[in-house]
């Protein structure tokens, strides 16, 4: 569906800069912005299911439990206190 709308020149300039930065078209950038706005405006908890596990395939983020264990490695066990 096509929608005509008036957007101030200042906003169009910012939009074009964003589009150039992400190497996408102005229209694609507007579609993405509308989608993000609608997701943020949605007060339901569906976002939990949509975004759960989003970073599970990333190698640059360490496991949270392993991080906690490493941070506590130098502490004495509670039994020794």
| Gap between the Cα atoms of 48 and 46, Å rounded | 5
Q: Is residue 64 part of a domain?
A: yes
**Secondary structure letter of residue 53 according to DSSP:** T
How remote is the C-alpha of 69 from its chain's centroid? 27
This prediction's pTM? 0.51
- For residue 64, the enclosing domain spans 9-75
13 part of a folded domain: yes
Number of domains in the chain: 1
Q: What's the rounded Cα separation, in Å, for the pair 16 and 27? A: 10
Q: What tokens were used for 47?
A: 């976002």
Does 4 map to a domain?
no
Q: Is residue 49 part of a domain?
A: yes
Rg over alpha carbons for the chain, rounded to the nearest Å, is 22
Per-residue pLDDT reduced to its tens digit, 11-58: 999 999 999 999 999 999 999 999 989 888 877 777 777 788 888 888
pLDDT value of position 54? 83
């Amino acid at each position: 569906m096509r929608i005509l709308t008036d957007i101030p020149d200042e906003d169009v300039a910012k939009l074009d800069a964003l589009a150039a930065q992400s190497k996408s078209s102005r229209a694609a950038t507007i579609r993405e912005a509308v989608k993000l706005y609608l997701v943020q405006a949605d007060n339901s908890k569906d976002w939990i299911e949509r975004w759960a596990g989003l970073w599970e395939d990333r190698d640059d983020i360490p496991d949270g439990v392993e991080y906690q264990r490493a941070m506590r490695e130098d502490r004495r066990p509670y039994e020794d206190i």
